[in-house]
Chains A and B, each alone.
Chain A
Amino acid sequence: MKNRSLLILCALSVLLSLASTTVVSAGEYHVGCIFSITGKASWLGEPERNTAEMIAKKINEAGGINGNKLVLHVEDDQGDNTQAVNAANKLIKKDKVCAIIGPSTSATSMAIIKIVDEAKIPLLSCAGAAVIVEPVAERKWVFKTPQKDSDCVKRIYDHMKSKGLKDIGIITTTTGFGGAGREQLKKIAAEYGINLVADETYDPTATDMTAQLMKIKNAGAQAVVNWSIEPAQSIVPQNMKQLKMTIPLYQSHGFGNLKYVEAAGEAAEGIIFPAGRLLAVDTVPADHPQKKVLADYRDEYEKNNKDKVSTFGGHAYDALNILANALKKVGDDPAKLRDEIEKTEFVGTAGVFKFSATDHCGLDKTAFEMLTVKNGKFVVLGQ
Chain B
Amino acid sequence: MTSSSFSDILQFFFMGLQRGCIYALAAMGFNMIYNATGIINFAQGEFVVLGGLMMVTLTMAVKLPIPLAFLSTTVFVTLVGIAMERFTINPVKHPTVLRLIIITIAVSIIIKGLAMCFWGKNSHFMRHFSSTETLDFYGATILPQTLWIIGILLLIVAGYIYFFNYTMTGKCMRACAINRDAARLAGINDRKMVMLSFALSAGIGAIAGIIITPIIQMDYARGALLGIKGFGAAVLGGLGNSMGAIIAGVFIGILEALAAGYISSHYMDAIALIILMLVLFVRPSGIFGSSEAMRLKEF
Residues of A within 8 A of B (CB): 38-40, 42-43, 46, 174, 200-203, 205, 207-208, 210-212, 214-215, 218, 231-232, 234-235, 238, 241-244, 259, 262-263, 265-266, 307
How many angstroms from the CA of A42 to the CA of B219 in the assembled complex? 11
State whether A203 touches B11 (Cβ < 8 A): no
State whether B215 touches A42 (Cβ < 8 A): no
Neighbour of A231 across the interface among B134, B217, B260, CB < 8 A: B217
State whether A211 touches B260 (Cβ < 8 A): yes
- Verify if B184 is at the interface (C-beta below 8 Å from A): no
B14-39 near A? 1/0 per residue, CB < 8 Å: 11001100100000000000000000
State whether B269 touches A235 (Cβ < 8 A): no
State whether A208 touches B216 (Cβ < 8 A): yes
- Verify if B125 is at the interface (C-beta below 8 Å from A): yes
Q: Which residues of B contact A262 (CB under 8 A)?
A: 125
State whether B122 touches A259 (Cβ < 8 A): yes
State whether B121 touches A207 (Cβ < 8 A): no
Residue of A nearest to B122 (CB): A43
State whether A211 touches B265 (Cβ < 8 A): yes
How many Å from the CB of B54 to the closest CB on chain A? 18
State whether B134 touches A241 (Cβ < 8 A): yes
Nearest 5 Cβ contacts at the A-B interface: A231-B123, A211-B260, A207-B216, A42-B121, A263-B125
Q: Which residues of A contact B260 (CB under 8 A)?
A: 211-212
Interface pairs (12), CB distance under 8 Å: A38-B116, A38-B121, A40-B221, A43-B123, A200-B265, A201-B265, A214-B12, A215-B261, A231-B217, A232-B216, A242-B143, A266-B132
How many angstroms from the CA of A307 to the CA of B124 in the assembled complex? 13
Residue of A nearest to B258 (CB): A211
Neighbour of B261 across the interface among A39, A42, A43, A214, CB < 8 A: A214
Main secondary structure of the interface of A (DSSP, over half): helix
State whether A210 touches B11 (Cβ < 8 A): yes
How many angstroms from the CA of A243 to the CA of B260 in the assembled complex? 16
Q: Which of B12, B15, B141, B215 is most buried by chain A, counting CB atoms within 10 A of its CB?
A: B15
How many angstroms from the CA of A218 to the CA of B142 in the assembled complex? 18
Cβ-Cβ contact count across A and B, 8 Å cutoff: 89
Question: CB within 8 Å of A: which of B249-280?
Answer: 257-258, 260-261, 265-266, 268-269
Residue of A nearest to B19 (CB): A208
- On whether A205 and B141 interact (CB within 8 A), knowing A210-B15, A266-B132, the answer reads no
State whether B121 touches A43 (Cβ < 8 A): yes
Neighbour of A215 across the interface among B216, B219, B222, B265, CB < 8 A: B265
State whether A263 touches B132 (Cβ < 8 A): no
Neighbour of A244 across the interface among B8, B125, B141, CB < 8 A: B141
Q: Which residues of A contact B12 (CB under 8 A)?
A: 210-211, 214
- Verify if B193 is at the interface (C-beta below 8 Å from A): no
How many angstroms from the CA of A200 to the CA of B260 in the assembled complex? 9
- On whether A243 and B141 interact (CB within 8 A), knowing A207-B19, A211-B261, A266-B132, the answer reads yes
State whether B217 touches A234 (Cβ < 8 A): yes
State whether B8 touches A214 (Cβ < 8 A): yes
Residue of A nearest to B7 (CB): A214
Residue of A nearest to B259 (CB): A211
Beyond A211-B12, A244-B134, A266-B132, 4 additional pairs, beta carbon < 8 A? A39-B221, A43-B122, A208-B15, A232-B217
Q: Which of A46, A214, A259 is most buried by chain B, counting CB atoms within 10 A of its CB?
A: A214
State whether A211 touches B18 (Cβ < 8 A): no
Residue of B nearest to A36 (CB): B121
Q: Which residues of A contact B257 (CB under 8 A)?
A: 208, 210-211
How many angstroms from the CA of A210 to the CA of B11 in the assembled complex? 8
- On whether A259 and B123 interact (CB within 8 A), knowing A208-B19, A231-B217, the answer reads yes
Neighbour of A207 across the interface among B14, B116, B143, B215, CB < 8 A: B215
Q: Which residues of B contact A243 (CB under 8 A)?
A: 11, 141
How many Å from the CB of A70 to the closest CB on chain B? 26
- Verify if B212 is at the interface (C-beta below 8 Å from A): yes
How many Å from the CB of B208 to the closest CB on chain A? 12
How many angstroms from the CA of A242 to the CA of B14 in the assembled complex? 12
- Verify if B98 is at the interface (C-beta below 8 Å from A): no
Residue of A nearest to B218 (CB): A231
- Verify if B225 is at the interface (C-beta below 8 Å from A): yes
B210-228 near A? 1/0 per residue, CB < 8 Å: 0010011101011001000
Q: Which of B14, B116, B122, B142 is most buried by chain A, counting CB atoms within 10 A of its CB?
A: B122
Q: Which residues of A contact B261 (CB under 8 A)?
A: 211, 214-215
State whether B132 touches A202 (Cβ < 8 A): no
Q: Which residues of A contact B122 (CB under 8 A)?
A: 43, 231, 259, 307
How many angstroms from the CA of A340 to the CA of B19 in the assembled complex? 53
Residue of B nearest to A267 (CB): B132
How many angstroms from the CA of A262 to the CA of B125 in the assembled complex? 8
Q: Which residues of B contact A263 (CB under 8 A)?
A: 123, 125, 217
How many Å from the CB of A141 to the closest CB on chain B? 30
How many angstroms from the CA of A46 to the CA of B121 in the assembled complex? 8
Q: Which residues of A contact B225 (CB under 8 A)?
A: 205
Q: Which residues of A contact B120 (CB under 8 A)?
A: 46, 307
How many Å from the CB of A197 to the closest CB on chain B? 14
State whether B134 touches A242 (Cβ < 8 A): yes
Q: Which residues of A contact B258 (CB under 8 A)?
A: 211
Q: Which residues of B contact A212 (CB under 8 A)?
A: 260, 265
Q: Which residues of A contact B121 (CB under 8 A)?
A: 38, 42-43, 46
Residue of B nearest to A307 (CB): B122
